[in-house]
Amino acid sequence: MKKKHKGYAKYGYLFTLPFTIAFLIFMAYPTLYTALIGFTDLKGIGKTDFHILANPLENFIKILTSPTFHTAFKNTVVLWVSNFIPQLILALLLAAWFTDRRFKVPGEGVFKVLFYMPNIITAATVAILFNALFGYPMGPVNDLMTRFGILDAPYNFLIKKNIARGVVIFIQTWMWYGYTMIILISGVLGISPEIFEAAEVDGANGWQTFWQITIPNIKTILLFTLVTSLIGGLNMFDIPKLFLMGGPDNATLTTGVFIYNQAFSGSYMYNRAAAASMIMFVIICAVSGVMFYALRDKDEEKIHKTIRQQEKEYRKKMKEAQKK
Amino acid sequence: MKSNNHHYAAKTIIFIICVFLAILSLFPFVVMIVNSTRSTTQIQQHAVSLIPSSYFANNFKILVGKSFKPSVGFLNSMIISVCATTLATYFSTLTAYGLVVYDWKLKRAYFSFIMAIMMIPAQITMIGFYQMVYKIHMTNNLLMLILPAIASPSMVFFMRQYMVPALSLEIVQSARIDGAREFYIFNAIALPIMKPAIATQAIFSFVSSWNNLFTPLILLTDQKKYTLPIMISLLRGDIYKTEYGAVYLGLTLTALPLIVVYLALSKYIIAGVALGSVKG
């Protein structure tokens, strides 16, 4: 029996082999190569040969002390935080309304479909569409605002730094709250209905139920949403790149756009871009590490520990028995 | 009675908010689609109109007269998305099968490793990836955008979580007794059982591959190899600066097929999003 078991083990390796090979070629090697380039003098279009710099950390120091990188990093964090908060509030509200047992929102199904729709449209299309919508002098937003008398004359919105940032924040919120809402709804539906019934019997109102039953019970999903959104946010590229090319005056420049511009425009500084990538990589790893620590299933871990303990004891007993 | 009134008011407010959000979701796309049929002069006079005009063909002529080639972009995007999705779903299911059905020494470690690399975004490693592809002269080869899909860690994770309860090892065992080979068992028995999970993951894999801008933008320099998102980025360039009608039409050509497919499959897509979040 045991022999047969071993015979099948090789298929475990065999079936996971394609993944392993593709991972090594397309993920592991490029990661290490990027890290290496970060220590070299590799720059200039079409160049592939490089030498390690006299001071290998030069690129990292240059990036970490670059005011443009600081701006980009600050923008990235600001853009993410200020789109995540309204996104989460909106998604939580909608999830609470759409799962309320006491009344059903008419047309709920249609609303869900429409709220999620912006998420599947190509981000490149959305970015250029919004650029056109806020066009000056006669974009649709200006047209509506002058027609309804909100503005006397067309306004050039997108040369103002704060408005440009605000629109990027709006686009990100608009594209993602529907997604977050669906995830939170599935989380709320996963809570056992008995808990809600008990709360109802105890006379809890909607607000109390929301804060004391719903929120604590979807903590894991909230954390999952937070981390995936943060990692996505740290890589924000399509919208800021195509909406205003990082402008005006770097107001919507994110680290993703910064890295792209370093490597694929101007003097093609692959080394600086690689160093910046690695800095972002470390930040993302730290964030993921915190998530894994927070998300680890404590109960499961306990069970595994007990099983391992039991196996050990069992083996010990077997050994002793064999000795005898 | 009073609480009933209160209830009714709350319900009305919620409904109004939902209607407002729904309009917000639709408005940009309505403006886009209507304006794709209007001339640049009409758009300049009034950029918002709900009445379609008759300049669709004219806009199309202007659009394709310059560098925007919707059919080329569509074809390349289709090749990449279909191939990448096929590879990703097949090999992710295969990898998950290896992790669920067989007992091997490194199984647990391998699964932990897959969870660990799930969060690594492709963007971070792009400089090394570009240099590697450039060195072997494959920058304009679509294969470089397809083959990486074989290693899709988050899809493997999803497939494994789905497979554990769905695939009973007794079925595998009885197929073995009937003399079936391991690879045959996977293709003939496991794959059909995994169909619902594969369908869900295929949709998302297809959409994300279809919408991907970053990697193609870096690798593809040959206009004949451009994907749709790169074609879209051309609309931002100077050559279309004053051709409003043509720009809206270009955007419509890229967004409308997605909207139609989405509305047709919305039931499955939304169920899929919900399913993906429930970690088993």
Three-state SS sequence of chain B: CHHHHHHHHHHHHHHHHHHHHHHHHHHHHHHHHHHCCCCHHHHHHCCCCCCCCCCHHHHHHHHHHCCCCHHHHHHHHHHHHHHHHHHHHHHHHHHHHHHHHCCCCCHHHHHHHHHHHCCCCHHHHHHHHHHHHHHCCCCCCCHHHHHHHHCCHHHHHHHHHHHHHHCCHHHHHHHHHCCCCHHHHHHHHHHHHCHHHHHHHHHHHHHHHHHCCHHHHHHCCCHHHCCHHHHHHHCCCHHHCCCHHHHHHHHHHHHHHHHHHHHHHHHHHHHHHHHHHCCC
pLDDT score at A299: 58
The label of the residue with tokens 């490793």 reads B113
User: Does the beta-carbon distance from B151 to A23 stay under 8 Å?
Assistant: yes
Q: What is the ipTM for the molecules in this complex?
A: 0.89
Residue of A nearest to B275 (CA): A186
User: Does the beta-carbon distance from A138 to B107 stay under 8 Å?
Assistant: no
Of A148 and B237, the structure prediction assigns the larger pLDDT to A148
DSSP A101: S
Tell me the domain boundaries of chain B. Answer: 2-63, 69-234
Longest alpha-carbon distance in chain A: 99
The answer to whether B122 and A286 have CB atoms below 8 angstroms apart is: no
Residue B277 has pLDDT above 70, yes or no: no
What is the CATH number that goes with domain A69-295?
Answer: 1.10.3720.10
Q: Which structure tokens are listed for B69?
A: 């080639």
3-state secondary structure of A40: strand
Could you report the per-residue pLDDT of B26-44, keeping only the tens digit for each? 999 999 999 999 988 888 8
- Is cis: bond before A248, omega within 30 of 0? yes
Residues 6 or more apart in contact with residue A35 via CB below 8 angstroms: A274, A278, B128
Contacts of B105 in chain A (CB under 8 A): 9
Contacts of B255 in chain A (CB under 8 A): 121-122, 125, 129
pLDDT score at A3: 42
Across all residues in chain B, what is the average pLDDT?
90
* pLDDT, averaged in runs of 10, over chain A (324 residues): 63 95 96 94 84 90 95 96 96 92 86 95 95 89 90 90 95 96 91 87 85 87 86 92 91 95 89 95 85 66 70 73 66
Q: Which structure tokens are listed for A168?
A: 């990027």
Contacts of A20 in chain B (CB under 8 A): 151
Of A168 and B10, the structure prediction assigns the larger pLDDT to A168
| Cα-Cα-Cα-Cα dihedral sign, residues A236, A237, A242, A245 | positive
pLDDT score at A1: 39
3-state secondary structure of A85: helix
Residue B134 has pLDDT above 70, yes or no: yes
Contacts of A14 in chain B (CB under 8 A): 98
Question: What's the rounded Cα separation, in Å, for the pair A81 and A168?
Answer: 12
Question: Could you give the percent of chain B with pLDDT greater than 90?
Answer: 63
Residue B220 has pLDDT above 50, yes or no: yes
Q: Which structure tokens are listed for A134?
A: 């806020």
- Is cis: bond before A137, omega within 30 of 0? yes
Q: Which of A25, A129, A151 to mutate to test the interface with B (most CBs of B within 10 A)?
A: A129
The answer to whether A271 and A50 have CB atoms below 8 angstroms apart is: yes
User: Does the beta-carbon distance from B255 to A106 stay under 8 Å?
Assistant: no
Question: What's the rounded Cα separation, in Å, for the pair B3 and B168?
Answer: 53
pLDDT score at A222: 87
pTM here is 0.88
Question: What's the rounded Cα separation, in Å, for the pair A165 and A200?
Answer: 44
User: Does the beta-carbon distance from B135 to A13 stay under 8 Å?
Assistant: no
DSSP bridge partners of A40 = A52
Residue B3 has pLDDT above 80, yes or no: no
Residue of B nearest to A31 (CA): B125
Looking at the partner chain, which of A11, A34, A102 has a beta carbon nearest the beta carbon of B128? A34
User: Does the beta-carbon distance from B103 to A183 stay under 8 Å?
Assistant: no
Could you report the per-residue pLDDT of B84-103, keeping only the tens digit for each? 999 999 999 999 999 999 99
3-state helix, strand, coil in chain A (%, to 5): 75, 0, 25
3-state secondary structure of A15: helix
The CA distances from residue B114 to A22, B110, B120, B157, B275, in Å, are 13, 6, 11, 7, 20
pLDDT score at A316: 75
The string over A19-53, giving b where at least 16 C-beta atoms fall within 10 Å of a residue's C-beta and e elsewhere, is: bbebbebbbbebbebbbbbbbbbbbeeeeeebeee
Overall average pLDDT of the B131-136 stretch: 93
Cα A208 versus chain centre, distance: 30
Residue of A nearest to B244 (CA): A132
Looking at the partner chain, which of B35, B95, B248 has a beta carbon nearest the beta carbon of A16? B95
Tell me the domain boundaries of chain A. Answer: 69-295
User: Does the beta-carbon distance from B117 to A35 stay under 8 Å?
Assistant: no
Contacts of A140 in chain B (CB under 8 A): 31, 35, 47-48
Q: What class does CATH assign to B69-234?
A: mainly alpha
Contacts of B129 in chain A (CB under 8 A): 26, 30, 33-34
| Cα-Cα-Cα-Cα dihedral sign, residues B244, B247, B249, B255 | negative
Q: Which structure tokens are listed for A324?
A: 């005898």
Interhelix angle A255-264/A67-98, rounded to 10 degrees, is 140
Nearest CA to CA, how far is A104 from chain B (Å)? 9
